[in-house]
A and B are shown apart, each in its own frame.
Chain A
Amino acid sequence: MPRLNKKVAETPTPTAQWRWQTQFCEHVARLALSPDGSLVAVATLAGEVAVVATADGRRVRDLPRHGFGALDVAWSSDGAVLATAGQDGIVRLIDAGSGAVLGEHRASGWASRLAWSKDGTRLAAAIGKDTLLIHRDGTEIGRFGQMAHTVSDVVWSTDDRKLGVLTYGGVRWFGSGTPKPTPDRVFAWKGAPLRAAMSPTGKFLVHGNQDNSVHVWRMSSAEEMEMSGYPAKVEVLSWDRTGEWLAVGTIGFTTVWDCSGKGPSGRRAVVCNGPDRRVTALSWQQRGHALIVGSADGTVSWYLPTKAKAAANLQPLGGVDVGSEVSDLAFLSDDRLFVVGCSDGTFGVVATDLPSAR
């Protein structure tokens, strides 16, 4: 009987062998690796923000808490400044070396998303319906016009000259100099975009949406493409470093779109089959082409999508059980180890069986 075959095929995912593991008292909301990979900053829903050494899990620094919960954390590209945001409506810039607070800014609503310009000079922060532009020295440059709806994400153009502000109704594309109230361009889209990601090549701006779709804008022509029919709202998107692959996590699987050349239009995605539950986090290798997928069922699986596998269903190359719903993860620079944070506060570094990049 097919049922029997399935049972035989189902081998339990092995328990993760932790390189080190630590415990926070609440759900890990976000983690961010420092540019050199030596440190990882963690934000939890209890409001804690901590900096931990990736080598051994040593707690290097505790940063000021965010009342009601920390939601995001982000390093400037040189690793010198760390930004934190939380439900208290506050965004803080912190000198990563000394721990000194360089600046603190607030607006009405939750401070939910942070994005540094690529050159590391400016931080964009979404707080409720406001978007703040903050200099790395901690001073506020200005605010973009208040939106009619809550800002769900902020995204920089690859040349840092533009800043996209996502709200219900589309993406407003502002000049990133001194904030002006009106956008240079509006990518109008009827619906609620949740998360945006700019391709590293600058060719495509994509957003995952409440209505179970992914919308793609070709930046040169504003041509639109849409990938619909996902079984759930789309909040987990990740570009690989080349900008050729876009991974989109959903319930039960991850689609990987080939965006090289003329783009994903007319192509079929590589489907990475995963556990039945929601995909909660994705990370690409820093040098290689493997993708790790974290799931609400507490497993992390890895895949190697290739063009030859387009339209195929990929099974994971390997996987481990980290014990609790994955909330965020990232490959370390050796492309073999990854750091993972979970919904029960479990946090640490785990090895894959992928070959090391070194």
Chain B
Amino acid sequence: MIENEFGEIGIDDALVIDAEAEIFEMNNGCICCTVRGDLIRILGNLMRRRDKFDHILVETTGLADPAPVAQTFFVDDEISAQLRLDAIVTMVDAKHIVQHLDDEKAEGTENEAVEQIAFADRIIINKTDLVTTEELDNVVKRVRAINGAVDITYATNAKVDLDSILNVGAFDLSRVLEQEPQFLDDTEHQHDVTVTSVGIEIEGTFNADKLNEWLSTLLRTKGVDIFRSKGILSIAGNDKRFVFQGVHMLLDGEHDRPWGPDERRVNRAVFIGRNLDRAALDRGLRECLV
């Protein structure tokens, strides 16, 4: 699960966990408190060592539910104090993904392929040499229909530049919005999908209290269906950008760099999830403007 195949520090074989995932649900029944016990144990132990890490890559199986993995970085106080979830990277098999996306799932069970694409901050479409240009276009369309905000990288034999998957900064939306400006419009999807994404771009500054109230109410009431949320916002009275990212009901935000003197204060937010109401999200966010 956590494996080090490169680098000079040989990390133990013992860190490769072959057993099935240990999913811990909490007594309060909240799905957002669901964490991965195995991950807490291993990361906790890694962080105790004197050799410090720049990055930790956690590889899950293709069938893993991404939510408990991501939530572990928010919910477990020891992990969240020492580690920051940089990005969720999903590798997509260009040849077979469409077939998996179309898998009929039993009522109440999730399509793992859809979920893993929805949760991703970055997607690597692999095996591009095995498909035609038309097939690849179709894969991209299908991926974008689920997760319009995601940054896509193409690869053969899974060869990717490490820089493209490390230090991503999950909240960094500027690049993807440059690449995919139409994401902000309610584009017509080719397929009828319930898992989709909504991007919102607004100029202005937000009232911190109103925004806080709206976001927390939104995630408390709709957090089960909102898989991911992220954004870069301008807050009244603060010279720095407020960047946030969330998983279901959990949100992690901070002020990062100052806005430039000539920089337009363009607020960008993205929500990815099930049955999202674009108009309501857009309206709700606008009402928090000063």
Contact = CB atoms under 8 A, between A and B. Distances in A.
A53 B40 CA distance: 34
Given A168-B24, A190-B27, A210-B35, A110 B77 contact: no
A345 interface: yes
Interface in B21-49: 22, 24-28, 33, 35, 37-38, 40-41, 45, 48-49
Contacts of B38: 150
Interface string B45-68: 100111000000000000000000
B33 A150 contact: no
- Residue among B25, B27, B37 facing the most chain A CB atoms (10 A cut-off): B27
A349 B81 CA distance: 29
Interface string A119-138: 00000000011000000000
Contacts of A128: 19
Given A68-B14, A345-B50, A191 B45 contact: no
Interface in A146-194: 149-150, 168, 189-192
B52 to A, nearest CB: 12
Given A45-B49, A87-B14, A211-B26, A168 B77 contact: no
A233 interface: yes
User: Interface size bucket, A side?
Assistant: 35 or more
A255 interface: no
Given A210-B35, A232-B77, A191 B24 contact: yes
A140 interface: no
Contacts of B48: 27, 29, 45, 327, 343
Contacts, number: 76
A68 B81 CA distance: 24
B78 A88 contact: no
A207 interface: no
A199 interface: no
B76 interface: yes
Interface string A322-340: 0000010000000000000
Contact of B28 (A211, A327, A345): A211
Given A45-B45, A87-B14, A251-B77, A344 B26 contact: no
Interface residues of B, number: 24
Contact of B37 (A109, A189, A192): A192
A35 interface: no
Contacts of B37: 149-150, 168, 192, 210
Contacts of A210: 24, 26, 35, 37, 40, 76
B178 interface: no
B49 A26 contact: yes
B107 interface: no
A233 B78 contact: yes
B33 A233 contact: no
A213 B22 contact: no
A231 interface: yes
A278 interface: yes
Nearest to B49: A45
Given A343-B48, A345-B50, A233 B77 contact: yes
B27 A213 contact: yes
Contacts of A213: 27
B262 interface: no
B12 interface: yes
A16 to B, nearest CB: 20
Contacts of B28: 211
Contact of A69 (B19, B25, B45): B45
Nearest to A26: B50
Contacts of B33: 211
Contacts of B76: 210, 233
- Closest 3 A/B residue pairs (Cβ): A68-B12, A232-B77, A192-B24
16 contacts: A27-B48, A45-B48, A45-B49, A68-B12, A87-B14, A87-B45, A108-B19, A109-B19, A129-B19, A168-B24, A190-B27, A191-B27, A210-B37, A212-B77, A233-B76, A327-B48
Interface of A: 25-27, 29, 45, 67-69, 87-89, 108-110, 128-129, 149-150, 168, 189-192, 209-213, 231-233, 251, 278, 327, 343-345
Given A45-B48, A232-B78, 10 more contacts: A27-B49, A27-B50, A87-B12, A108-B19, A149-B37, A191-B24, A210-B24, A210-B37, A212-B77, A231-B77
